[in-house]
Amino acid sequence: PRALDATTTIPVPAPRSVPGVRVPAPGPVPVPTPVPGSAEARAPSVADTNIRVDVGLLDGLMTLVGELVLARNQIVRHTASAAGDPALLATVQRLNLLTTELQAGVMKTRMQPIGNVLGKFPRVVRDLAVACGKQVRLDIEGQDTELDRTIIEAIRDPLTHAVRNAVDHGIEAAAGRVAWGKPPEGRLHLRAFHESGKVVIEIADDGAGIDPNRVRDKALAAKLVTADRVAGMSARELVNLVFLPGFTTADRVTHFSGRGVGMDVVRTNIEKIGGTVDLESRPARGTTVRMKIPLTLAIIPALTITSGAERYAIPQVSVVELLHIDADRAGRAVESVHGAPVYRLRGSLLPLVSLARELGDCAERPAGAGLNVVVVQADDRQFGLIVDAIHDTEEIVVKPLQKLLKGVGAFAGATIMGDGKVALILDVLGLAQRAHVLTGTRARARAEAVPDTTPTEVREPALLFAAPGGGRMAVPLACVARLEEFPRSAVERVGRGFVVQYRGAILPLVDAGRARGARPKRPRDPNAPLQVVVCAHRGRRAGLVVGRVIDIVDEAVAARAPATRPGVAFTAVVRDRVTEFLDVDALLDAEGGAP
């Protein structure tokens, strides 16, 4: 026989003895061994790469990671406030990095594809279409989009309600579609995708759409709203009345609809997990229900703020930007529209809401103080939340509220901060509803927006800051990745420049004062943290050391002058002050200056 290239021997058990028959002793049998690189060696079985883990064990592991994150936050806070030795600071930074990686790994174990939920809808749609006498074709996109297991369980019922409503109420019968010039078969499209740190799920149909006038008449007939309230509503606001409890457009109660518990359940359940629901409909063209859902509920990044004597946390996904209005501008910058305070932000009116007033804190603010405003987004609308102080962003572990506080719409949960104290997590959507800023806000802001009357002027959003050596400078907002504070003890010298360890990488530092060609001034307080603008452009990243961040501007730059110093793109007048706009490419090519 032909010899094998690679063999191994295995013992063969002796055969059963038969009386009167002599059997020779067995010898070693050659068994081929998979050659490295062959198909047999490259194809491990599923059992070799997967194991079964109890869900309760994963939940317990997630709880332990949450407690580890809390302990990490406490250690980082105490280390930053005390001047320790460099070895301790390096160890804490390493602990911070390892905790973040461990948290990300455990979060991945809880992630499941949304296809586990969407996969059941073809049968649901088919059975419902047959029962309603309709022809419906279902298209599903994005089944590999992953969500936390608890989120997937929470969205199962809302998705079912939305799909059933689309088939029963949205898509017409074949005869009605042909009369409108549509194909007899209706189309229902389910789509899931990631957007801005959230998962967006769209349920779109090409049916009859929603008639705003019919919705208004049904709501008035059911006494869900008053005639005075609907008189000033736009078509979009009338359509969103379908989310009211007890609302239905069905003329009779059937096995599938007419009980008025559909869209109300959808919005309520989605808002419970921190998501939002938006409805867009065009008569005779179709309806789209858009749900925005957070990836997870266990550990989230949040911005900590202070109002009165209490600290609160705002989920980072709801924060758009931060504003500080100087005391000398606060009086004339804040205007009043229909008795409500607004701020003119880049040509649009931004409604302002005082957090202290909404939470019942009647303490008066000191006279002559500026305004700290957190611009947040509730549903698809923005408003400014006036707070006393704005602190840092950190990852928090969400704890559920007790029964006594669950009825308060301003809070979504609680967390334990780095100093061991409890802070409440604000519900941005609940605050917007309490302050009555959702109804008609966008329409009024768009109607009262200031038009650009000078088409030759250039509008470019930019970050305005004071340079360490004095004067005002700006960089394009599109190049700004983050705003950070670093302790001076974290700065290390490498060659002729300075760097800092940042998010698992090495971030070079550039002194903004050197772009002006002047020697930077030494800070008054040598222990003051560095104010750093992290700039990213064309795949490169560097930290720009600034004196103080002033504001984000999006004003028409009319008066320009060519640059007279290296590192400066041009000079312009912004808010009645000469401001130098930095050349970001030259900035990233520069060497780090002494911070």
**DSSP per-residue string spanning 156-195:** HHHHHHHHHHIIIIISPPHHHHHHTT--SSEEEEEEEEEE
Task: Please tell me the predicted confidence (pLDDT) of residue 457.
Answer: 46
Each of the 595 residues of the chain gets a pLDDT tens digit; together they read 444 444 444 444 554 544 554 545 555 545 455 555 555 455 555 556 778 888 788 888 888 888 888 888 888 877 776 666 778 888 888 888 898 888 888 888 888 888 888 888 999 999 998 988 889 999 999 888 888 888 888 888 889 888 988 888 888 888 888 888 888 899 999 999 887 667 889 999 988 888 888 888 888 888 888 888 877 787 778 888 888 877 776 555 455 554 445 677 888 888 777 777 888 888 888 889 988 887 766 777 889 999 888 899 998 878 888 888 887 777 778 887 777 888 888 777 888 988 888 887 766 666 567 888 999 887 667 899 999 989 888 888 877 776 666 566 678 788 888 777 888 888 887 788 788 776 543 433 333 333 333 333 445 678 888 877 677 888 888 788 888 888 888 888 887 778 888 877 788 888 876 654 434 444 455 667 888 888 876 667 888 888 888 877 776 655 577 766 777 888 888 877 788 888 877 776 654 444 4
Name the nearest CA neighbour of 412 among 396, 433, 427, 395. 427
Q: How many CB atoms lie within 10 A of CB 349?
A: 21
If DSSP codes are grouped into helix, strand and coil, which group holds residue 466?
Answer: strand
What do you get for the CA distance between the two ends of the chain, in Å? 79
Partners of 501 in beta bridges? 506
Q: Is the dihedral of CA 194, 195, 198, 201 positive or negative?
A: negative
Place of tokens 């063209």: 285
CA–CA gap between residue 493 and residue 520 (Å, rounded): 17
Q: How many CB atoms lie within 10 A of CB 100?
A: 15
Helix (H) / strand (E) containing 115 = helix 115-118
Task: Please tell me the predicted confidence (pLDDT) of residue 442.
Answer: 40
CA–CA gap between residue 293 and residue 269 (Å, rounded): 11
Both tokens assigned to 313: 């946390």
Taking the mean position of all CA atoms in its chain, how far away is CA 589? Answer: 32
Q: What are the start-end ranges of the E strands in 33-177?
A: 111-113, 136-141, 146-148
Q: How many CB atoms lie within 10 A of CB 323?
A: 20
Angle formed by the axes of helices 55-81 and 86-110, to 10°? Answer: 160
Alpha helical stretches, state H, 334-454:
355-358, 403-406, 428-435, 441-447
Q: Is the dihedral of CA 435, 438, 441, 442 positive or negative?
A: positive
Distances (CA, A) of 34 to 31, 38, 104, 218: 10, 7, 37, 73
DSSP secondary structure code for residue 144 in this structure: T
* CB 354 within 8 Å of CB 371: no
* Residues 6+ positions from 73 with CB-CB distance below 8 Å: 394, 395, 417, 418
